[in-house]
């Protein structure tokens, strides 16, 4: 068993133009004052990190660690969620996802994909220079538009989709392997890796690459009505990153999982701030601790009701409340005795 690290906080949803949300130093002071011990850094936010410099300069990475460490914090992971998304984009989503790319790569899917692959590789180099061994990202998707099998999917389509996805990711995975860093794919609707079966398909397509791992976020499973607790039983050996985000699913006679094109507040399934939804975090923390998952518990704010400031304030305390100090002794050790083979044989009637 292993005690989880935390609380950590994902900074992506808090970055802004006004203090304390406008620089890494200001955000670190703010997070530290709230009681956080770690920060997950989105690499697309240039006010927080220069990924090109972090990939090439030990001095720059030492400077980053110094800024974070000055406030009693650690970097939990770097994140390339937006760049990872662009590794694989179906043409139906080109216009929507072009907003994630630099201007030079918009309206040019091939160049955008090459840029995304190169950028995620840089995150592997930066992670190693920062002393990190895990990285958070999205897989992207070529098949998502076919998640509901109507019209009927042609024979071999899914297999070809995962073959191509693996082909795009394998050069990245090899780079991360060279750097000693695991890639943790957030299992998420809209990604080709969105549940257990799709994760296994990708794992097989990459030849069971050792750097293919999971960012576990139970909120996405509530929205899919997937058993997020037994998911841990199945995949705990791959869970190397963890987002603490709540969710609720309240279907009615008018709306269910697909949501009727409603906005977040009006959907049957919606994300909530930790503690405000339906997720059994006590059991999640117990399972992750029991299985010895070496992860940071990182709060991610995505709530359609509560403000990010209140969510962050309450999130640190929520995670602290759920952290379990793993026991190193059995509760009945006091009644134990040393090994006596003769006594053992007698107990067995031998």
Q: What is the pLDDT of residues 104-126, one digit of tens each?
A: 999 999 999 999 999 999 999 99
The three state secondary structure string of 298-347 is: EECCCCCCCCHHHHHHHHHHHHHHHCCCCCCCCCCHHHCCCCCHHHHHHH
Q: How confident is the model at residue 334 (pLDDT cuts 50, 70, 90)?
A: confident
Q: Are residues 92 and 110 in contact, defined by beta-carbon separation less than 8 angstroms? A: no
Phi, psi of 247 (to 5 degrees): -160, 165
Taking residue 49's Cβ as centre, other Cβ atoms within 10 Å add up to 22
pLDDT of residue 156: 98
243-301: per-residue pLDDT in tens? 999 999 999 999 999 999 999 999 999 999 999 999 999 999 999 999 999 999 999 99
pLDDT classification of 335: cutoffs 50, 70, 90: confident
pLDDT score of 332: 75
Residue with tokens 């992971």: 77
Indicate the angle between helix axes 109-129 and 58-69, nearest 10 degrees.
70
- Dihedral of CA atoms 64, 70, 74, 79 in degrees, nearest 10, equals -40
Q: Alpha-carbon torsion 257, 316, 85, 16, what sign?
A: positive
Q: In Å, what is the CA distance from 57 to each residue of 62, 250, 285?
A: 9, 49, 37
Reduce the DSSP state of residue 75 to 3 states and report it.
Answer: strand
Say if residues 95 and 124 touch (Cβ distance below 8 Å): no
**Distance (Å, rounded) from C-alpha 337 to C-alpha 174?**
50
Is residue 330 scored above 90 in pLDDT?
no
- Which candidate, 68, 80, 79, 62, places its Cα nearest to that of 31? 68
Q: Counting beta carbons within 10 angstroms of the beta carbon of residue 65, is it exposed (0 to 12), middle (13 to 18) or buried (19 or more)?
A: middle
Helix/strand/coil for 213: strand
Look at residue 102 and tell me whether its pLDDT is greater than 80: yes
pLDDT of residue 99: 96
Domains and CATH numbers, the chain: 5-347 (3.20.20.150)
Rg of the chain over Cα atoms, rounded to whole angstroms, equals 22
Nearest C-alpha neighbor of 127 from the set 180, 89, 174, 82: 180
Other Cβ atoms within 10 Å of 179 Cβ, number: 19
% of the chain surpassing 70 pLDDT = 100
pLDDT score at 337: 79
Per residue in 47-63, pLDDT tens? Answer: 999 999 999 999 999 99
Look at residue 159 and tell me whether its pLDDT is greater than 80: yes
Asked whether residue 201 carries a pLDDT value surpassing 80, the answer given is: yes
DSSP state of 18: S
Residue 56 to residue 290: CA distance in whole angstroms: 38
Are the CB atoms for 220 and 188 separated by under 8 Å?
A: yes
Cβ proximity of 32 and 323 under 8 Å? no
């Amino acid at each position: 068993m292993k005690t989880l690290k935390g609380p950590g906080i994902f900074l992506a949803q808090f970055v802004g133009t006004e203090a304390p949300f406008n620089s890494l130093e200001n955000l670190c002071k703010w997070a530290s004052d709230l009681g956080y011990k770690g920060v997950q850094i989105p690499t697309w936010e240039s006010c927080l990190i220069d990924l090109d410099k972090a990939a090439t300069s030990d001095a720059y990475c030492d400077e980053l660690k110094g800024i974070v460490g000055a406030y009693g914090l650690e970097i939990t992971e770097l994140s390339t969620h937006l760049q990872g998304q662009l590794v694989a984009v179906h043409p139906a989503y080109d216009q929507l996802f072009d907003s994630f790319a630099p201007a030079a790569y918009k309206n040019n899917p091939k160049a955008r994909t090459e840029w995304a692959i190169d950028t995620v590789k840089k995150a592997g180099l930066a992670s190693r220079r920062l002393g990190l061994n895990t990285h958070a990202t999205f897989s992207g998707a070529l098949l998502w538009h076919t998640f509901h099998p109507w019209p009927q999917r042609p024979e071999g389509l899914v297999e070809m989709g995962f073959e191509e996805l693996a082909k795009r990711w394998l050069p990245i995975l090899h780079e991360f392997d060279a750097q000693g860093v695991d890639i943790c794919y957030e299992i998420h609707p809209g990604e080709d890796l969105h549940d257990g079966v799709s994760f296994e398909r990708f794992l097989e397509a990459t030849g069971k690459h050792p750097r293919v791992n999971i960012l576990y976020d139970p909120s996405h499973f509530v929205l899919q009505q997937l058993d997020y607790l037994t998911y841990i039983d199945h995949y705990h050996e791959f869970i190397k990153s963890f987002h603490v985000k709540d969710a609720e699913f309240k279907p009615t006679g008018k709306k269910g999982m697909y949501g009727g094109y409603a906005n977040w507040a009006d959907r049957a399934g919606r994300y909530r701030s930790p503690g405000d939804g339906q997720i059994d975090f006590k059991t999640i923390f117990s399972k992750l601790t029991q299985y010895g998952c070496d992860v940071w518990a990182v709060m991610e704010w995505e709530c359609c009701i509560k403000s990010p400031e209140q969510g962050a304030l309450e999130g640190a305390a929520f995670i602290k409340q759920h952290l379990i100090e793993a026991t190193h002794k059995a509760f009945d050790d006091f009644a134990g005795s040393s090994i006596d083979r003769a006594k053992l044989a007698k107990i067995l009637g031998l």
